[in-house]
Amino acid sequence: MRRKEDVLVPKQHYGDNILILLIDAPPKLRFERLLKRKREDRPKTYEDFLTQERREYEIFNLDDVFKLADEVIINDSGFSILYERVDKILKKYDFI
**Entry field: residues in the chain:** 96
What is the pTM (predicted TM-score) of this model? 0.85
Whole-Å CA distances, 74 to 30, 41, 77, 80, 82: 11, 25, 9, 13, 8
Domain boundaries, the chain: 4-92
pLDDT, tens only, 38-85 = 889 999 999 999 999 999 999 999 999 999 999 999 999 999 999 999
pLDDT, tens only, 9-46 = 999 999 989 999 999 999 999 999 999 998 899 999 99
Q: Please check the confidence at residue 1 and state whether its pLDDT lies above 90.
A: no
